[in-house]
Chain A
């Protein structure tokens, strides 16, 4: 076995023994609409960090001052006072005894093996400041990359900008929504952002393509979907699996995986050829309709039927349902849309379909969000130095529309096989479990092995922590001040996060770590504050509200400055596209040499005995980060792989049996997974909820429970438009005997 410089260290036992734009219209009573449950309890405002929806709520402590429960805030448009199970179970992130407890420093023992030792904060921070300064002097600040996720990442982003590096990436983009953001920008001149501005509560029809709302708990959208159901609205679901929302749909289209573009083109064909599009809207606002009409002619429902395996009559009926509801119809843009490497084109088809239905900027379709703006503390007004190069120069010429740092491009620039000039030499990883959150784990590990220095900031001993030189334990969101949440939504809000309890063990807030490092590296002017309360006070002062007032109200609800949530009749609208119109024909894609209209491409199919690996969510977990949360683990400790009864019968596999999965490249899962034999899945596919199969034993609840889909996603299709990573062209087969036991024998 090859020895690596960077040995995987299990963090074991260590530390266990140590202990606006608008006028504020708020009044101080608006946050107090709920009666206190118990006069002995106290409550502190916060916004949830368990997922990116960042719902605002109250953290209650009990009479002993210990964290008790978390409840949504009624003034919060993301949650409307109701948290999802993850937010309610967020208390477990505080109580998890497996948390990182002290700073840890990697060292080499006399026998050459490596381990971590506990360190003081001063020791750990001094070491990081020294090493980072060395690397900066030798290779430039640009050679240090930041991977981040969530609120804490913002503090380290500030540190990196101050240092002179813009090599900053979040797997939340190229592994998630970049194709969608590009496609909507290209078509409507507008990205969608988060939460997506979908007017589901006023829609009469919603079309979900591979999106399983209700199993992914995008809180506000799940709530509004329920309102749509209540009103008798139509849901159309396209999914190879009989998802929960498929069971609530008027039409469920059990599509063959990877053929969605064919279906979308057929829908466009029907809506144009049956004259069901919004003629006035298209005439007034769209560019390229005649060209689209000509282009779309071959793509009939019958053509799509042969590709998608769907009944052509059903395809037509679904298109008519959408058109009947227009413009109060939403063809949902999805969120994690990086599937097959031609995802931007698929999302372009979704955008075009919405344009034809006239749903953009219309009631019951897509509304325009509004968000608050706050002031700046002087430390955040100091200009940042200009980096000499950035992630865009690592693979120059590739991925012209990449709009944010691409995680996998930074991995490329870190990998030993990279021959370009712009090499990455060190990593900071903040709240992002890279070996599990981005595909092609082996390549990530090789890149990490090539780094001169790695710092990991996390609350939990995630797998990534085992590759760090220094590990810093972060306080959970329930124990810290943080950036203000300025969510985009129907109306602007500002939400405060403040500690409801002291940080456990030696954990510290992200802002404090960034400041300590900045101060040590001579970047004091960027961190010229004593406490984060000072920063918050300065930011809030622009809105005429104090931090003390925010502690009382939690959420500051503002009014929209203009009546501009929807387009108005007769408005002259200039869209932020090259033609100033909604671009059915994308002039920008054409100019870059890409197809100006979406094109269906046939993708690889599973070889005999293999099945499409379809992955997705369960409602009580977020990614791989909550699997060890005591409360959420209690709701679901392990996942199962869904197999159709016909397939199970062929294999002689029984419900509840444990099997191993092997992908098309021979990668075998580390652990076995329980089988769920169910009619709810196609016979050419399996379904595997994401986020399980952790291999760090220090995650005492999550370790060894199930299979990491990421491990089996070794085939990655890069979207040439923006570099996002398509992950759904991986196939698995079943091993009923322990494969590792066999090799030992």
Chain B
């Protein structure tokens, strides 16, 4: 079992519904976010290209954040989901420094917080909040180890990329391009 996300940049309109859905679902305090939207423009008017991506923790296979955590608060659970145990975290920020995706932040209560793939929902058979609300249906969540899952099929049939592959962390969020 290896959870991952496949996100279709061709369909994403960058509306940020994923961001606010995560904030309300997970009671993320205002001013902070576990996911965010990036717009990248290339070219000169009128020969232009725009890519829009919703980004978050990549739930990497090789996890510098877990490796650098001095207390063991950062850890990996079933399905490869990277989590932080709040009451074991001392807020030292080593994981934040080590993350190539800038996916972690210090919660005002003093611990490091990040995307959990909404594991509380996944346990109920539901998609993560961001995936479940997306009005363009551009986000897909599932088991990358299962060749028959929607995410595996999309990766098998479409061109895709990951972010910062040079960091060597084996990210589990894939972007269809």
Contacts and interface: CB of A to CB of B under 8 A. Distances in A.
A619 interface: yes
A71 B121 CA distance: 14
Given A69-B24, A84-B17, A254 B46 contact: yes
B16 A85 contact: yes
A229 B10 contact: yes
Contacts of A619: 13-17
Interface in A378-401: none
A91 B24 contact: yes
B25 interface: yes
B15 A214 contact: yes
B20 interface: yes
Given A219-B135, A247-B50, A679 B45 contact: yes
Nearest to A243: B50
A245 B49 CA distance: 11
B48 A681 contact: no
Interface in A429-478: none
Interface stretch (A597-605, A626-634, A706-714): A626-634
A427 interface: no
A225 B50 CA distance: 17
Interface in B148-167: none
Contact of B135 (A84, A634, A680): A84
B53 to A, nearest CB: 13
A89 interface: yes
B137 to A, nearest CB: 6
Contact of A222 (B10, B44, B136): B136
B43 A37 contact: no
Nearest to A85: B17
B30 interface: yes
A82 B25 CA distance: 14
Given A242-B46, A634-B31, A83 B125 contact: no
A644 B45 CA distance: 9
B52 interface: yes
Given A35-B126, A631-B30, A71 B133 contact: yes
Contacts of B44: 679
A222 B48 contact: no
Contact of A679 (B14, B43, B121, B134): B43
A60 B152 CA distance: 33
A244 interface: yes
Given A85-B16, A619-B16, A242 B48 contact: yes
Contacts of B15: 84-85, 214, 217, 222, 619-620
A248 B121 contact: no
A157 interface: no
A229 B13 CA distance: 12
B120 to A, nearest CB: 8
A691 to B, nearest CB: 15
A471 B138 CA distance: 44
B23 A634 contact: yes
A680 B48 contact: yes
Contacts of B14: 214, 244, 619
B11 A226 contact: yes
A329 B127 CA distance: 34
B124 interface: yes
A635 interface: yes
Contacts of B96: none
Nearest to B19: A635
Contact of A681 (B43, B45, B49, B52): B45
B1 interface: no
A226 B138 contact: yes
A244 B24 contact: no
A308 interface: no
Contacts of A683: 45
Contacts of B138: 226
A678 B40 CA distance: 11
B50 A242 contact: yes
A21 to B, nearest CB: 30
A619 B39 CA distance: 14
Contact of B50 (A88, A244, A254): A244
A704 interface: no
Contacts of A222: 13, 15, 135-136
Given A71-B132, A679-B43, 14 more contacts: A82-B132, A85-B16, A88-B20, A89-B20, A214-B13, A219-B135, A225-B136, A229-B11, A247-B49, A620-B16, A631-B24, A635-B20, A678-B41, A683-B45
18 contacts: A37-B126, A69-B21, A69-B25, A85-B19, A88-B133, A222-B13, A230-B137, A242-B45, A247-B50, A252-B46, A619-B14, A619-B17, A620-B15, A631-B23, A634-B20, A636-B16, A679-B41, A679-B45
Interface of B: 10-11, 13-17, 19-21, 23-25, 30-31, 33, 41, 43-46, 48-50, 52, 121, 124-126, 132-138
- Closest 9 CB pairs between A and B? A214-B13, A247-B50, A619-B15, A226-B136, A85-B17, A69-B24, A89-B20, A679-B45, A254-B46
